[in-house]
């Protein structure tokens, strides 16, 4: 039996919390399972490092950012290994490089290309507990890389996949996946299980409880993923294949993404190639464009709107400077995206109407809409974001 456990920032936020983590790891080892632990930096640490860099430079080189940010996870991995050793458990801490995590060269947003499993396996065979610093890897030319915010989830899933672990447990500060962020709707309900696809939508639509790419990879590698709390022993949420879930709810959850900004281009010439030019530029810069809306053209001109992550707005602004249509650019940071997610939508109609009715009843104006087979997303003014989440949660009776 092999268990991979990942502990997030709040779970290792203080020395006392690290002691609690060590106890849980020890208990798992005692139960007869081999254990690989993946740790985040202590909560707030990554943000603090970013702030320090920004006090010297608005646009620090990404290579140096990676070297800087990867340090947080090294601290916790070493501390936990020191403690476990002291408790009498033979343990070894590893950085991303030492764990054989090979990534591409896109600094601060690197993708894992493969994992050389021999490094971890060798230690497991000797009976050691292996503690890996999450969120980081090494490029083919030996540069330190990081995997994007929340990336320790991805480290854990990738390691679980590479080692064919029996289970990958993600320990955090909530009991599992809820129908919506329990900080916004305290009466939100914990889900016993959720499909990879729904979780993928919830994560990519703003539920930061799991990093989107980690869910993507878990689905691809069929990793048995469980989210649970490091603060209690409650049963968590299993993220699994849709076929494994007996009762498919119409709507599983509501997500809110506050890291959104809307870009509008007015009076763009309505001719072939304009959209291609704009979105090629943005893609080249690595901007994540989301909702795209183009109106029907009038008199040879049209309006084009799309959303980007708020923290990529500067990059968007810069990369659009040379585009002919850029004179008519407008930016709006005061928006949020609220989404309703559920596999049941595939086979039922009327789900979207309920969402629109609900927001209308609250007098909330919907600025943009997009849908897929299993989700409806709406961009609204930020001041109504949490109200919309609560109203939608009630409308779909998710607390029942």
Binding site for ligand ADP (CB under 6 A): 8-11, 40, 150, 172-174, 177-178, 180-183, 202, 207-209, 253
Interaction between residue 151 and Mg ion (CB under 5 A): no
Interaction between residue 150 and Mg ion (CB under 5 A): yes
Interaction between residue 176 and Mg ion (CB under 5 A): no
Give the one entry of Mg ion, ligand ADP, ligand ASP, none that residue 183 binds, where binding means its C-beta sits below a cut-off of 5 to 8 angstroms depending on kind.
ligand ADP
Interaction between residue 13 and Mg ion (CB under 5 A): no
Interaction between residue 236 and Mg ion (CB under 5 A): no
Interaction between residue 40 and ligand ASP (CB under 6 A): yes
Q: Which of 7, 89, 135, 171 binds ligand ASP (CB under 6 A)?
A: 135
Q: Give the C-alpha separation, 130 to 128, whole Å.
A: 6
CA 254 to chain centre: 15
Please name the helix (run of DSSP H) or strand (run of DSSP E) that holds residue 159, with its range, or none. helix 152-162
Give the one entry of Mg ion, ligand ASP, ligand ADP, none that residue 263 binds, where binding means its C-beta sits below a cut-off of 5 to 8 angstroms depending on kind.
none
**Whole-number minimum distance, CB 173 to ligand ASP, in Å?**
12
Of the pair 76, 358, the CB lying nearest ligand ASP is at: 76
Rounded (10°) CA dihedral 276, 205, 49, 10 = -170
Measured at the CA of 356, the angle between CA 202 and CA 183, to 5 degrees, comes to 40
Interaction between residue 307 and ligand ASP (CB under 6 A): no
Q: Which of 96, 100, 134, 342 binds ligand ASP (CB under 6 A)?
A: 134
**Whole-number minimum distance, CB 155 to ligand ASP, in Å?**
8
Sign of the dihedral through C-alpha 344, 348, 351, 352: positive
Sheet of strand 144-146: strand arrangement: 112-115, 101-103, 136-139, 144-146
Q: What is the DSSP string of 35-93?
A: EEEEE-PPTTHHHHHHHHHHTT-SS--HHHHHHHHHHHHHHHHHHHHHHHHHTT--EEE
Interaction between residue 149 and ligand ASP (CB under 6 A): yes
Structure tokens at 293: 């809306």
Contacting residues toward ligand ASP, per CB under 6 A = 8-9, 40-41, 46, 72, 134-135, 149-153
């Amino acid at each position: 039996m092999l268990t991979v456990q990942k502990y997030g920032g709040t779970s290792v936020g203080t020395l006392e919390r690290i002691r609690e983590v060590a106890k849980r790891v020890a208990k798992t080892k005692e139960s007869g399972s081999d254990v690989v632990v993946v740790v985040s930096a202590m909560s707030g640490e990554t943000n603090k490092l970013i702030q320090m860099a920004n006090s010297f430079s608005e646009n620090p080189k990404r290579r140096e950012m990676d070297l800087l940010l990867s340090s947080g996870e090294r601290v916790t991995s070493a501390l936990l290994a020191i403690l476990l050793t002291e408790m009498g458990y033979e343990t070894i801490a590893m950085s991303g490089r030492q764990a054989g995590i090979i990534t591409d060269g896109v600094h601060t947003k690197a993708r894992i290309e493969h994992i050389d499993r021999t490094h971890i396996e060798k230690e497991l065979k000797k009976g050691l507990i292996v503690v890996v610093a999450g969120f980081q890897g090494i490029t083919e030319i030996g540069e330190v890389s990081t995997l994007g915010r929340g990336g320790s989830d991805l480290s854990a899933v990738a390691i679980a996949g590479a080692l064919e672990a029996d289970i990958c447990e993600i320990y955090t500060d909530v009991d599992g996946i809820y129908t919506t962020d329990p900080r916004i709707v305290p009466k939100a309900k914990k889900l016993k299980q959720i499909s990879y696809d729904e979780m993928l939508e919830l994560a990519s639509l703003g539920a930061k409880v799991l990093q989107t790419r980690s869910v993507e990879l878990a689905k691809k590698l069929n990793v048995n993923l469980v989210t649970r709390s490091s603060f209690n022993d409650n049963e968590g949420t299993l993220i699994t294949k849709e076929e494994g879930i007996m009762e498919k709810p119409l709507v599983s959850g509501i997500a809110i993404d506050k890291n959104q900004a809307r870009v509008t281009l007015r009076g763009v010439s309505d001719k072939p190639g304009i959209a291609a030019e704009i979105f090629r530029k943005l893609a080249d810069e690595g901007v994540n464009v989301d909702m795209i809306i183009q109106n029907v053209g009038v008199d040879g001109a049209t309006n084009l709107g799309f959303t980007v992550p708020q923290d990529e707005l500067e990059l968007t602004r810069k990369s659009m400077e040379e585009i002919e249509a850029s004179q008519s650019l407008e930016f709006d940071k005061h928006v949020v995206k609220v989404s309703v997610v559920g596999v049941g939508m595939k086979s039922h109609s009327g789900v979207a109407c309920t969402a629109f009715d609900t927001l209308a009843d609250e007098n909330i104006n919907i600025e943009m809409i997009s849908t897929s087979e299993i989700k409806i997303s709406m961009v609204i003014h930020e001041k109504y974001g949490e109200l919309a989440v609560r109203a939608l949660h009630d409308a779909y009776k998710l607390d029942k």
